[in-house]
Amino acid sequence: MVMGSNEAPNSFLPLSVVKSSAWWQLLCGALMRIDILCLFPEMFVSPFSHSIVKRAEDNGFVKVVTHNIRDYTHDRHGTADDYPYGGGAGMVLKPEPIFEACEDIGQLTGVGNIPTILLTPQGRPFTQRIAAELAAQPQLMFICGHYEGVDERVAEHIVTDELSIGDYVLTGGEIAAMVVVDSVVRLIPGVLGSDESAADDSHSEGLLEYPQYTRPEQFREWSVPPILLSGNHGEIAAWRRRQSLLRTALRRPDLLDKLTLTDKELAWISDSLSSQR
């Protein structure tokens, strides 16, 4: 992860040469570039310095660059927010530094029309499907709101999408951006190894994932379901599918409404639920 927007990936090259995405990708070897605009870039250091996001960066699948909105203010105090017109509680992020930062990032990377996502509790609910769509983009930009929100002109004239990670209010968009970036990066083709495939993840097919077990086969008085030790891959796949259906029916029945299930599956769910009552 890189903090600050104006650094060229190779100090021998003038910025004007680096101002094309093709050059940027050639120099960095990165398939996707993610810029994050926020008030607290330091918050991203630890979460992105471990595990899969770190490995994805090290292996050149993604480059994450954080930018401090205050770096684009022009007064002595670095004023990024102001009182809301019309009165009311809280402060609103000013438009000028955000516009300047976005223009700077767009120029730096040579890409116009970068998908630009505002993290806000008013956004559309973030889902695995949206994560998969974003993972197919060559470049993304995230704007993290704070205080009472962001001047509406940012949403109207820069932002291409608004996302919420849930119906609750965080102190700022940074944690939401971490959630979204983490779930997007692991879906970039090649980032997960074959033994870490995302295909069976909860939500990848609209269902919750089946229960998983590892060694030991017997732990205290609890043993692993015998079918998983049978070596019969067809039977195991069928058991997992049924477990996914049952788990989803019990925990998230709203998800089942969006799926087309076979009559056999529907009957099996109904029988299992009635035998559990």
Task: Give the residue among 5, 68, 3, 44 at the shortest CA–CA distance from 174.
Answer: 44
Pick the catalytic residue: 35, 57, 151, 201? 201
For the bound state, the minimum distance from the C-beta of residue 52 to ligand ADE, rounded and expressed in Å, comes to 22
Catalytic: 265? no
Name the residue nearer to ligand ADE (CB basis): 143 or 249. 143
Contact 181, 36 (CB under 8 A): yes
Q: In whole angstroms, what is the distance from residue 33 CA to residue 181 CA?
A: 11
Catalytic: 121? yes
For the bound state, the minimum distance from the C-beta of residue 170 to ligand ADE, rounded and expressed in Å, comes to 4
Q: Which residues bind ligand ADE (CB under 6 A)?
A: 119-121, 145, 164-166, 168-170, 173, 176
DSSP secondary structure string, 49-84? GSHHHHHHHHTTSEEEEEEEGGGG--STT---EEPP
Task: Give the residue among 255, 129, 108 at the shortest CA–CA distance from 187.
Answer: 129
- Quote the tokens at residue 112: 């116009």
For the bound state, the minimum distance from the C-beta of residue 263 to ligand ADE, rounded and expressed in Å, comes to 39
Name the residue nearer to ligand ADE (CB basis): 109 or 203. 203
Q: In whole angstroms, what is the distance from residue 163 CA to residue 28 CA?
A: 28
Name the residue nearer to ligand ADE (CB basis): 97 or 173. 173
For the bound state, the minimum distance from the C-beta of residue 73 to ligand ADE, rounded and expressed in Å, comes to 21
Pick the catalytic residue: 71, 148, 205, 265? 148
In this chain, which residue has its C-beta nearest to ligand ADE?
Answer: 176
Give catalytic residue positions.
Answer: 121, 148, 186, 201
